[in-house]
Amino acid sequence: MTRLVLATTTPGEAEIFASLQGEGASIGRPSVFVRLSRCNLACHWCDTAYTWRFAGDSRPHRDDRTFERRDNQVTLDPVEVAAQVMAFGVPRLVVTGGEPLLQAPALARMITALGAGFHVEVETNGTVTPGPALDGLIDQYNVSPKLAHSGNASELALIPERLSAWAADPRALFKFVIATPDDLNEVKTLEQTYAIPPERLFVMPEGTHSQTLRQRSRWLAEAAMQAGWRFTDRLHIHLYGDTRGT
């Protein structure tokens, strides 16, 4: 039986929690979050490196820190995860990671077990195909393709057929992480190449501290205005800091 591999808040405690959605189109909405473990990419600024950078993983990260797998992963039956989600009484689910679509079969079982009445969002780096069993259960995809400054090779992070498919799916909202003004040229190229509708294109400042986010937001908000894109902040960082389970 397929099980879900989740991240943890503390050893043995799955990272399943209720909070406000901090980013994108649903910012500020009460949601239940399920954070899955494992990722096929390695962003050097990743703020959830504990989902993939385990001892022995040599992929670069700016903190140069590795995590013990046994303390940062837990495996649960999807039906058990669904029961924990329902216990919060919040009808909006955000599945995040890591890269959730790596666990599509188990994720489909979990969402099916929730039954009717949930709005389901999946946060993805955009490189993995959902598969039909899962795809029919998802209301919204928050697709965050990784730009060159992430440190990922473009042939791994920006897969043309996947970007084309997401651009054609009205459920898919694009969210680009921006660190410097130079990143905006790459976003413009991707927008034009894949005909991404500007009303579905968000730009978000990279950072794990409020001061950094505010500094970058000043010029990024203006750039979004000029390009006709949507701007999103990182609300959870301002409210709770860079912490697990928030």
Q: What is the pLDDT along the chain (246 residues), one digit of tens a residue?
A: 699 999 999 999 999 999 999 999 999 999 999 999 999 999 999 999 999 999 999 899 999 899 999 999 999 999 999 999 999 999 999 999 999 999 999 999 999 999 999 999 999 999 999 999 999 999 999 999 999 999 999 999 999 999 999 999 999 999 999 999 999 999 999 999 999 999 999 999 999 999 999 999 999 999 999 999 999 999 999 999 999 999
Q: What is the pLDDT of residue 1?
A: 65
User: Could you tell me if 122 and 100 are in contact, meaning their C-beta atoms sit under 8 angstroms apart?
Assistant: yes
pLDDT value at residue 96: 98
What does the block give as tokens for 150? 């992430």
The residues that bridge with 73 in the sheet, in sequence order, are: 7
User: Using an 8 Å Cβ cutoff, are 31 and 94 in contact?
Assistant: yes
The pLDDT of residue 143 is: 99
Residues 38 and 54: their CA atoms lie apart, in Å, by 10
| Residue positions counted in the chain | 246
Could you tell me the residue ranges of all domains in the chain?
4-174
Amino acid present at 39: C
Residue type, 196: I
Bridge partners, 203 (sequence order)? 176, 231
Query: What CATH number is given for 4-174 in this structure?
Result: 3.20.20
Q: Name the helix (H) or strand (E) containing 178.
A: strand 172-178
CB 101 within 8 A of CB 41: no
Which tokens go with 139? 């209301």
Measure the CA–CA gap between 24 and 128, rounded to whole angstroms. 20
DSSP notation for 199-235: GGEEEEE--SSHHHHHHHHHHHHHHHHHHT-EE---H
